[in-house]
Amino acid sequence: MHALSAYSRLFKLTGLLYVLIAFLGRLPMAMAQVGTLMLVFRATGSNETGGLAAGGLAIANAVGAPIAGVLCDRHGQRIVVLVQSLAGTAGLIALVLAAHQGAPNPALIALSAALGAVLPQVGPLARVRWRPLAARSGDQRRLVDAAFSYEGAADEASFALGPALVGIAAVLVSPAGALITAAALLAVFGTAFALHPTARLTGPAAHPGNAVPAEAPSTAHPPVDGRFLTIGLMVLILAQWSVGVLFGATQTGTNALADAVGKPGLTGLVHAMLGVSSAIAGFATAFIPARVTQQRRMLLAALAMVALSWPLLLVDSLGPLTAAVAVLGFAIAPFMISVYSQAERVVPPARSAAAMTLLAGATSIGYASGAGLAGALADSSGHTAAFGVTVGATVLALLLALSRQRSARQR
């Protein structure tokens, strides 16, 4: 099946309204991280405190998202995502009010963490809905692969548009205005995602008897055997953690350089270029021939990330930084799509939400690790030291990709 035909069939299965709802529903999460970083930095004047607040949000989300995923597997997504959307809306508003009232640093960090614990991970949960949707049509494996390519691109597009919206609001209004916008989006589109009819395809009703379909021969994986937390899944979780470190360190380094040149409001706009190029590459992965295994795609993308991250160590102004970030983005979505695709194949279908949210949680923990470490290095040694964390994350991603490739060859 041609990639364009696969995309067309996917969107016919759901309708364009669902695609729009699922995309806009993930924007608040993308806006919350960079928005929190900028809001707390503006309120306290400290890169480290801003990084800790954004990191606290990310860590709490990393804990809360898999718990929500388990609940979605047990009870379906509708009630879980609805509660998360309403609680997240309240949390965003509370954080803005606390910053406006001059709350102490520990209180801002604690509120950021509480917010992260309840924000829904719409992207990973949307992935779970595609397998039962694709089961209604022929060539399920190809459709699911195309769906994961689309979701990877949508995630990256949201993490481009989200920071861009934050940057625009920071310039025109303030970081507080950006988080209020995120609250409005979450209240409307998070709720709509929860109540959409596709939510009925999740939970116990979607997996009667917990049956596990066999793998297609071209996936280079044996059929799953009912185990969940396998070595293969752990490697993939670490791989997503490394991507999170890359995001956190790059965003914090960008913020430090933008502040150093007197344009801190441009952090979101510059970092958005990472998502723009990554989204383009994500859509393009659907055109890769099926004979190229997911492990091979992961390895090639990791090699590209290592090669394209080094220029960050040489930049000292926003122009070259924007170009370097944009080029690096072309390698990120293909890496993430291969990780999520492999995870979907190595866990039982009835545990899909738990697996997808675990990967999202690993990304958040990585973001927290990268933002915290890079923030401390930026305060003491400048933006170049922060970008050194980015380079280190890509090297780790390459080592993990080599591990997956070796494991596939052994099988």
The predicted-structure confidence for 345-375, as pLDDT tens digits, reads as follows 888 877 888 889 899 889 888 887 898 899 8
Higher pLDDT, 407 or 17: 17
Instruction: Name the pTM for this structure.
Output: 0.78
What is the pLDDT at residue 205? Answer: 58
Q: Which pLDDT belongs to residue 134? A: 78
CATH class for the domain made up of 3-204+222-410:
mainly alpha
pLDDT (tens digit, 9 = 90+) per residue, 145-202?
Answer: 888 888 888 888 887 788 778 878 877 778 888 899 999 999 999 999 999 998 888 8
Helix-helix angle 27-44:16-25, to 10 degrees: 20
Query: CA 131, 235, 213 angle in degrees (round to 5)?
Result: 30
In the predicted model, is pLDDT for residue 84 greater than 90? yes
CB 376 within 8 A of CB 260: no
Q: What is the pLDDT of residue 79?
A: 93
Digit-coded pLDDT (tens) for 273-324: 888 888 898 888 878 887 888 899 999 999 999 999 999 999 988 889 999 9
* pLDDT above 90 (res 232): no
Q: Which amino acid is at 392?
A: G
pLDDT above 90 as % of the chain:
37
Domain boundaries, the chain: 3-204+222-410
Place of tokens 């992207």: 123
Per-residue pLDDT, averaged over 74-83, amounts to 92
SS (HEC) of the chain: CCHHHHHHHHHHHHCHHHHHHHHHHCHHHHHHHHHHHHHHHHHHCCHHHHHHHHHHHHHHHHHHHHHHHHHHHHHCHHHHHHHHHHHHHHHHHHHHHHHHCCCCHHHHHHHHHHHHHHCCCHHHHHHHHHHHHHCCCCCHHHHHHHHHHHHHHHHHHHHHHHHHHHHHHHHHCCHHHHHHHHHHHHHHHHHHHHHCHHHHHCCHHHCHHHCCCCCCHHHCCCCCCCCCCCHHHHHHHHHHHHHHHHHHHHHHHHHHHHHHCCCHHHHHHHHHHHHHHHHHHHHHHHHCCCCCCHHHHHHHHHHHHHHHHHHHHHCCCHHHHHHHHHHHHHHHHHHHHHHHHHHHHHCCHHHHHHHHHHHHHHHHHHHHHHHHHHHHHHHHHCHHHHHHHHHHHHHHHHHHHHHHHHHHHHC
| Nearest residue to 346 (alpha-carbon basis) of 237, 206, 192 | 237
By the 8 A CB rule, do 144 and 344 touch?
Answer: yes
pLDDT higher at 78 or 251: 78
Distance, CA of 242 to CA of 305 (rounded, Å): 11
Question: In angstroms, rounded to a whole number, what is the distance separating the alpha carbons of residues 138 and 129?
Answer: 16
Q: What's the CA gap between 148 and 280, in Å, rounded?
A: 14
